[in-house]
Copies of this chain bind each other. A is one copy, B any other.
Amino acid sequence: MASTIPKYGSDGLAGFYAKVDELEKLFIDRLGDAVKIPSISAYADRRKDVFEMSEWVAAKMRAVGIDVRLKSLGKQQNAELELPPLVLGRYGKDPEKPTVLVYCHYDVQPASFEDGWKHEPFKMTVEESGRLCGRGTSDDKGPLVGWINMIEAFQKAGLEVPANLVFCFEGMEETGSFGLREALEDEADKYFSDIDVVCIADVVWVSNEQISIPQGLRGIIFYLVTITGAKQDAHSGGFGGQISEPMVDMVNIMSSLVDSNGKILIPGIYDNVQHVTEKEYQSYQKLNISEESLYGGTGGRSLYDNQADALIARWKKPSLSLHRIENALPGAGAVTSIPAKLVGKFSIRTVPFMKADEIDQIVRKYIQERFDGLGSKNDIEIEAYPNDWFFEDASHWNYQAAIKATKNVWGVDPAMTCEGGSIPIALDFKRILKKNVLLLPVGRPTDGHHSTNEKLDKINYINAIKLYGSYLQEAGTLWRKSNGKV
C-alpha cells in the first residue's frame, strides 16, 4: 500500500525511526521468542506457560530499564487455579512529560497445528511476503513486545523516551480478564494515581485497507429470560395439549422483541439514540472498506447494501440479537419431549446516549406485560447484565497525538471509526481511572486473532514500534501545550 512509507522527520524522530529499522532482525527474533511460549490462558494445563510468559515479559522489561512489579491476582473464580500476575512496570518520572498507561495482554487464544494451521502456531514463521505467522503475533504479543522495542530503539538512538510510561500487561485477557477490574480499583489511587491518559494496544484497523482509530464501542445489555413450567420435561405424547409449555411462551416473548428487518419492537428503545448527521453519513460512505470487510461476514444476508447504512447499523444504532433458547434442566430429554425450563438469551447493543438503566426498565416492563398477556401458567424471570457503550473525546491530546503519529508513520490520516462490539476493559479503565482512553490499533482485521493462521504483517509490526514512539512524542508536545508548559 502507498501509505507504508514513514514520513521521517516531521516529528523530529528520524534517528529513532532509523534505529527501529536497523534493529528489525532483533525485534523480529524477540517476537519469535515470545510466540514460542504457548501462554494459553483458557487451559489449566497451560497455566504454567502463562506464568512463564509473565516472567519472560518481566525480564525483557527489566532489560530496558523498566521497574517491574508482578501483582498477584489470587485464584481463579470457582477453580483452585492460580491466576497469572498483572505485570506492572514504570519507566521514567520526568515531571516535564506526560504519563501514559499502556495496556496489553501476554496470554493467547488456544491453537494447535491440527486445527488447520499452515505452520506450527507456537514456532513463528516469517514468510517471504513478510507475514509473521504464529499465535499471538497480532493478538497481543506483537503490540506488547513493540512497546519494549520502542524503548530500546530510543535508547540505542541516544534519545529520551518522550513520555513517562506505566505498564499494565495482563495474562487472562482471552479468558475473562479475571481479577483485572479489582486490580484497577485497588491500584487506581496507588500505582496508577499519577497517570494522565490510557492507551490500549489491543485493537485492529476497521479494514485491511483503511487505517483507523476507533473512537466508540457499542455497549451490551445481555439478557437471560428463564421460563419455568413443570419440574421435569414431559412426554409430548402423554402430556401434549394438557400441559402448559414454556417453549410456547418463550418463542412468543422472543418474537416480540425484534423483526426480520432488524427493527427493535420495544417502544422507547430508540428515544435517546444520537442522530447521525449528514456529515457523518458522508464520512462513513467515503471510508475505504472492501466489500469483503463490509459484507463478507454476513454471507449475503446483509440488511443493507450501502456502505454508510451498513456501518451505521453496526456502529451507531442499537441492535437486538437473539442468541439461543436452551433447555435449563440437566440431561436433554427425548427429541419429542416438552422442555420444562428454558433460558432464552438475547442482547441489546447500545449506543450514545442510551441509558442502560432506563433501557433495562423498558425491556423488563415490556416482556413482563407481554408475558402477563399470554395468560400462561408458567413463571418468568428476567436477568440483565449491562455493559455501557464507550465513546471517547477525540479532541483530547491523547487522541490528537495518536492521529498525528499515524500520519507521521503511515502517511495518511486515520479514519475515526467505531466498533460494533464491546471491549469491557476499555470501559473499566475509563470508569475506574477517569482518564481519556485511547484504543490504538496495530494489526489488520484479517490477522486471524481468534482463528487459525494468525499473523502480523512485518510492516505493521515495525510501524507499530515507530507509531508508539511518535505517539509519545506528539503526546508530550500536546500535553505540554495544553498545560501551558510550552
Contact = CB atoms under 8 A, between A and B. Distances in A.
A377 interface: yes
A245 B324 contact: no
Interface string A209-238: 000000000101010000001111011111
A302 interface: yes
Interface stretch (A26-34, A149-157, A253-261, A460-468): A253-261
B421 A314 contact: no
Interface string A261-291: 1100000000000000000000000000000
A219 to B, nearest CB: 10
Contacts of A336: 220, 222, 321, 323, 347
Copies of this chain, whole number: 2
A135 to B, nearest CB: 19
A244 B310 CA distance: 12
A142 B310 CA distance: 67
Contacts of A249: 260
B420 A239 contact: yes
Contacts of A323: 236, 247, 335-339
Nearest to A238: B420
Contacts of A337: 323
Contacts of A422: 237
A265 to B, nearest CB: 10
A461 to B, nearest CB: 24
Interface string A67-103: 0000000000000000000000000000000000000
Given A260-B244, A260-B249, A303-B377, A238 B297 contact: yes
B251 A255 contact: yes
A382 to B, nearest CB: 17
A298 B243 contact: yes
A301 B69 CA distance: 59
A378 to B, nearest CB: 6
A322 B242 contact: no
Interface of A: 218, 220, 222, 229-232, 234-245, 247-252, 254-255, 258-262, 297-304, 310, 313-314, 317-325, 327, 335-340, 345, 347, 349, 374-378, 419-422
Which A-B residue pairs are the 8 nearest by beta carbons?
Answer: A237-B421, A241-B319, A230-B299, A240-B319, A247-B322, A236-B321, A251-B254, A244-B301
Given A243-B302, A260-B378, 16 more contacts: A235-B297, A235-B420, A236-B347, A239-B297, A240-B314, A241-B314, A241-B420, A242-B303, A242-B314, A242-B319, A245-B258, A251-B255, A252-B260, A254-B255, A260-B374, A323-B338
21 contacts: A220-B336, A222-B335, A222-B336, A229-B301, A230-B298, A238-B419, A240-B314, A240-B319, A240-B320, A240-B321, A240-B349, A242-B302, A242-B303, A247-B321, A247-B324, A248-B258, A248-B260, A251-B251, A254-B255, A323-B335, A324-B327
